[in-house]
Structure 1
């Protein structure tokens, strides 16, 4: 059978995981692999992406995420996105009858593919974990040292402060009952692969580390002065870029830590003109308290526009408290811009400390400010870091590299499935 993958994702454009799945889809097709993609929410006009059609189908695609989360009202838990994944837009029976040689799951929550339907898929399959949901309860992000996803969700380890029915435990128990036959898992970073191996659900399952794909022909360096002129960014001494959807309201994105680090940077370099560029949200109602001018650019979905904004920056900051990969850091490096981040999660895979950026001690705003000063204070060092960052992005994240890694994995998964059928039916 020829290699014909079908990528399954709730969306092809909404959110980082959706963008990662769509980029892999494009990478595979550019390398001659006839990938197709099935989504519930389609935001692109790509003909190789199929979505729910008709008025009813499109209406249900909008309604399903909210309907799927209704039962979460029975549980009063901490903040953060959660998914019980009871509803399913896609049925395993249809997937099992399709002509694709391998199915590749990505972010499949929001009523797109339920826990039980995933278990019923009999086709050769691969699943990339873009967050922690698969081995948690309903949580998409959980503390790294949380006992529940490591040891299992019991009545005795319910977090203090959680009230009502334990929907997290119920969801995790459904996963444990449904997912008993191991199949191939993919993690975008070594950190995520370690979390998978340490989880109560997936310990012993096969997991491969393959980074997210990036089009290095789109994300590439542009002359900084030209990029600033096109983007309308003043030509200040130091331009710092922060990219995160709704980052100011999401504690995980570390906006508070960035603010603290910027105050220290300004104090240490009072003669410098420093400007912060924020992409991913418009100016919030309460936007004061910054020690430097701030440009609020809102949401930019166009890759070419993003490449220009990256090139306009002297440094990109990723002050997140948890990241499984960080496409922002990869995109910035592809544009030849060094990145300052904390030494956590997948950022340790994406950034090479002192070679393509600076990895500060976790959540230490003082060290983060030091990293910013170290990168920005020496123009020669900054150029060297930028060139190294560009090389690293091409060697590790570019379409041909990541597509080849996936193609090799698909072939192995298909061959393993064929071998299993031969043993089952006694074929020689």
Structure 2
């Protein structure tokens, strides 16, 4: 079996890291797996860059070029919005690689034009890392549910017009997606429900397969040594928060964490606890969080990331909307209890008072009480820590993820082979008799 994964990157983003973990799992399972990406960060020879040198150079500008229509909406919110109109030559490269099946991942920043997908002419398994595939351009809808009918009058564009950019993108997707040989995979049951309720993909098969990790890299490690290596205090309880664009992406909920920490300070924790942030550098004018804060900046290698989780007593994920966050999965794998709001796929990862705490959305006082509940009893904390690792081993191993995908790939290719055989038999039956 020859599988080609297509995604914007192989490790720069959470979606890229998830796609690369699956690629490695398939390779370890004996599958011929390759990745085709716009931005390559690993030295893996099976990760291929798109196109010739000219197209790779042009790719540096494609995020800005594809976003040009969004600039017409001056009053838009700051969330990422992807029209994906910019043309490229990736279809020709895919034909040259001639995979048996294509596994699509995150395609943003102008990497793949909407109208390119039908040109692949291969069975497609699309792993959703957000909601973009069935919206008019946004990646997370917030409180908007217009994707269930048809987009337009987009709140993120603040357009107040039915025939806006989101409607144009929605119509292009409706046309391009219509005859795709497409199977959808979502990491969370929450995202599966959203896809099934959408007007664009409500009639498609949707499978739920959680992402996976290398549990030999993300595993419990001696906290004292981890803190020494990272130069973090050994005599404080450490709450960890982190993500790509951790403090600037409002969806990640840093503003809610700030509010929760103020409540926690009022509860008498000010001298016992400190905050650690990765994915963001310390701002010039840092906010007063009520606690000392250590900013670690952006971490790129898995060993450093796993050390940070191991050094922490708790991982906080105050996201407003999220799928199946890699950060929670990584924290659980390292035996670090987690707290988050009961939204999206977070409730599928955090077991309330089992491996962490699920707070009421978006009650920051309840979030603060959850942090205190996890940290105030050392014996309870150790039980949460043990259960966190058990959860990861049972549900989030890379080997389990790869085997689930392989079962799906085998089934789809078998069905394709049956259809081809029936088609060939039908043509033979209908052929006119030879002339004597």
Both structures adopt the same fold (TM-score exceeding 0.5) = yes
Q: Which residue of 1 aligns with 2:246?
A: 247
CA distance in 1, matches of 2:106, 2:154: 26
Counterpart contact for 2:51–2:93, Cα < 8 Å = no
CA distance in 1, matches of 2:120, 2:95: 6
Q: 1:162 aligns with which of 155, 159, 169?
A: 159
Q: Aligned runs of 1:51-90 on 2, under 5 Å? A: 51-52=49-50, 55-76=53-74, 77-90=76-89
Q: Which residue of 2 aligns with 1:388?
A: 387
CA distance in 1, matches of 2:124, 2:28: 22
The normalised TM-score by structure 1 is 0.94
> CA, structure 1 residues 103+212, in 2 after alignment: closer, same or farther (shift >3 Å)?
same
Relative to structure 2, which stretch is displaced further, 38-47 or 58-67?
58-67
Counterpart contact for 1:254–1:320, Cα < 8 Å = yes
Q: Which residue of 2 aligns with 1:314?
A: 313
CA distance in 2, matches of 1:161, 1:60: 30
Deviation at 1:96, TM superposition (A): 4.3
> CA, structure 1 residues 45+390, in 2 after alignment: closer, same or farther (shift >3 Å)?
same
Q: Which residue of 2 aligns with 1:136?
A: 135
Q: Which residue of 1 aligns with 2:431?
A: none
Q: Which residue of 1 aligns with 2:432?
A: none
Counterpart contact for 2:11–2:42, Cα < 8 Å = yes
> CA, structure 1 residues 111+225, in 2 after alignment: closer, same or farther (shift >3 Å)?
same
CA distance in 2, matches of 1:123, 1:42: 24
Q: Which residue of 2 aligns with 1:12?
A: 10
Total equivalences in the alignment: 423
Q: Which residue of 2 aligns with 1:172?
A: 170
Counterpart contact for 1:336–1:386, Cα < 8 Å = yes
> CA, structure 1 residues 270+38, in 2 after alignment: closer, same or farther (shift >3 Å)?
closer
The CA deviation string for residues 226-253 of structure 1, in whole angstroms up to 9 with x for no partner, is 1111110001331100012222222111
Q: Which residue of 2 aligns with 1:207?
A: 206
Q: Aligned runs of 1:29-108 on 2, under 5 Å? A: 29-52=27-50, 55-76=53-74, 77-96=76-95, 98-108=97-107
CA distance in 2, matches of 1:179, 1:52: 23
Q: Which runs of 5+ in 2 are unaligned?
A: 429-436
Give the CA RMSD over aligned residues: 1.8
The normalised TM-score by structure 2 is 0.93
Counterpart contact for 2:22–2:212, Cα < 8 Å = yes
Q: Which residue of 2 aligns with 1:273?
A: 272
Counterpart contact for 1:9–1:38, Cα < 8 Å = yes
Q: Aligned runs of 1:175-186 on 2, under 5 Å? A: 175-181=173-179, 183-186=182-185
SS at match of 2:38: coil
Deviation at 1:401, TM superposition (A): 0.6
CA distance in 1, matches of 2:315, 2:13: 20
Q: Which residue of 1 aligns with 2:23?
A: 25
Deviation at 1:141, TM superposition (A): 1.4
SS at match of 1:381: helix
Q: Which residue of 2 aligns with 1:147?
A: 145
CA distance in 2, matches of 1:374, 1:103: 46
SS at match of 1:242: strand
CA distance in 1, matches of 2:88, 2:390: 41
Relative to structure 2, which stretch is displaced further, 105-114 or 186-195?
105-114
CA distance in 2, matches of 1:364, 1:405: 37
